[in-house]
Amino acid sequence: MKGLLHFFGEDLSKLIKQNAGRGVRVEGDDIILEPRAVTPPPHIRGRVTRAGIVGGKIVLIFESGRHPSVLQPPVHSAAYIYHRGGVLRFGKLTMNDADLEIVGDRPGMFDFFQREYQKQLVAGYSKNTPANGLVAHMADYSHFSAHVSAQT
């Protein structure tokens, strides 16, 4: 495709309408993605070490270069999100050298919606761990999505 465009004296940047606020820009034949602008808050910040398309979705792999030991979350659950290391910021909370496990309230499944995580967090509760970590028990997003569907 690139060769065909160049044959007609065109490149990708001339054919795509760009909106700088969306986090995507085109330079020549390259599509440049700015993950912080593409995704909703809370934002992920780090160095992208790999990128690809899997199942029709853009997948970004962030890596710090450190290779910690095997993760062992404090609460044993079939469905959870576990953050360890680095700095996490959500709401007014900042965790340095983060140790945060997020667990849903449905056995074996956790419906988490990043854009609406605040509702899920407020409906749940949190417990500190002996290792100065935090376990956040969140309400499953399905509790909220059912109410939204019923109202529309």
Q: Is this prediction's pTM over 0.85? A: no
Average pLDDT for 115-129: 91
Average pLDDT for 11-19: 60
Q: Decide if pLDDT at 29 tops 60.
A: yes
Rg over alpha carbons for the chain, rounded to the nearest Å, is 20
Q: Decide if pLDDT at 147 tops 60.
A: no
**Percent of the chain whose predicted confidence (pLDDT) is above 70:** 72
CA distance 63 to 51: 12
Average pLDDT for 95-124: 88
Give the angle subtended at the CA of 93 by the CAs of 89 and 97, to the nearest 5°: 60
Contact 120, 112 (CB under 8 A): yes
Average pLDDT for 69-93: 84
